[in-house]
A = this chain, B = another copy of it.
Amino acid sequence: MTQDAPRQRLARATLTCLAEPGDAFLGALLRDREPAEVVAAIRAGRLPAGPRPDHDRRAVPRALRRWGARIADAPSESDLAAWHKRGIRLICPGEPEWPTQLAALADAGPYALWLRGSADLRHGCLRSVSIVGSRAATAYGAHVGTELAAGLGDHGWLVVSGGAYGIDGSAHRGALGAGGQTVAVLACGVDRPYPVGHAELFELIAADGALVSEWPPGRPPTRHGFLTRNRVIAALTRGTVVVEAGLRSGALSTARHARDLCRPLMAVPGPVTSTASAGCHEIIRDWGAVCVTSAAEVLDQVAAAGDHLPDRQHGPVLPHDALDSVTARVLDAVPARAGAGPAAIAVSAGVDLDTAIRCLGALAAGGFVDRCDTGWRVRPRRPPRSRG
């Protein structure tokens, strides 16, 4: 970490206060600039120097006004310290706990994430599944959500959901009941989780897992925020299961993100005589979501790359040939035994640190590399099981 790091972290914390999450224009500005430079420009009411992202020209002054109007909300170092005392920490892209798979969101990725809880988000999410569904769950849906999450917890997988009533709540509770970790990705500050009826549940989640948000502490939820948040639920995990969803359920927006990110998308069928599962049936029929009925079937989809399924061959899901040349170079730079850190790998591969981190995330998702205590290393290949 450079001496400049605290300043850049504070800048990213500031951006979470100024801008709505997922702003691709802001994301594009951050692609080529340090966050502090972007914040300084916003304070000055102008665009930062350097290449200007391809964007609607009329939108730029509007965005600057919008962000500038909130500049009084910008936190100070002492705010961060005070939040930290209350158990709220900030993680930023490139830091050890930053989940590499969020790189799949590209310019729409979070500027930073606020966390409350004991889990290591990056490590936990490497083996995680999101379970989502309607708030207005039926007894059937709640039962299935609980059972699925418990089954995943039993196998050491982390369950990510949105902390809402209905299916989300059943998923968190099922995971907790099985002694598994669970993460709630919220659309409001992690210190004032919504809905309040889940206050006790949120404490249980934070105890062993984490509450995660793109919004700064204290921020109340907005209607639109829930949809924005859903992309993070999909991007954090190895796959998404829709347990019960009507045709217009918000859970289908998470499903759409999972599909668009090319992550395994699954849905649990239900009685066709109820409309509560109509969205699940639709995405099975029309989007190619896999019809799953048990945790084992979910693991069959997300653990295809290996991961402790005893009767599955470990190894990459993609052939080496399918990697682009930069990713292949990064893979070549990953040591086979003792791990290496991203910076060392970046130097060895001749790429910048961000590229190395993005490629390592893709390689991990593809089953080529694993994280270990000392950094990254190539996943050992097992020979195919002999037939006979």
Give the residue of B278, B285, B291 whose beta carbon is less than 8 angstroms from that of A285: B291
Q: How far is the CA of A269 from the CA of B143 in the complex (A)?
A: 17
Q: How far is the CA of A284 from the CA of B266 in the complex (A)?
A: 12
A290 close to B (CB within 8 Å) = yes
Instruction: Find out whether the CB atom of B281 lies under 8 angstroms from the CB atom of A285.
Output: no
Cβ–Cβ < 8 Å partners of A365 in chain B = none
Cβ–Cβ < 8 Å partners of A269 in chain B = 269-270, 272, 277, 281, 284, 291
Q: Pick out which of these stretches binds chain B: A56-64, A188-196, A199-207, A292-300.
A: A292-300
Q: How far is the CA of A144 from the CA of B144 in the complex (A)?
A: 22
Instruction: Find out whether the CB atom of B272 lies under 8 angstroms from the CB atom of A293.
Output: yes
Quick one: which of A256-283 are within 8 Å of B by CB? 268-273, 277-278, 281
Cβ–Cβ < 8 Å partners of A277 in chain B = 269
Quick one: which of A304-352 are within 8 Å of B by CB? none
Q: How far is the CA of A268 from the CA of B144 in the complex (A)?
A: 19
Interface centre among A268, A271, A281, A290 (most CB of B within 10 A): A271
Instruction: Find out whether the CB atom of B291 lies under 8 angstroms from the CB atom of A143.
Output: no
Cβ–Cβ < 8 Å partners of A285 in chain B = 290-292, 297
Q: Which of A's residues lie within 8 Å of B, judged by CB? A: 140, 143-144, 268-273, 277-278, 281, 284-285, 290-294, 297
6 CB < 8 A contacts A-B: A143-B273, A269-B269, A269-B281, A278-B293, A284-B291, A291-B291
Q: Could you list 14 further interchain pairs (A-B, Cβ under 8 angstroms) beyond the known A140-B271, A144-B273, A284-B291?
A: A144-B272, A268-B272, A269-B269, A269-B272, A269-B281, A269-B284, A269-B291, A271-B271, A272-B293, A272-B294, A281-B293, A285-B290, A285-B291, A285-B292
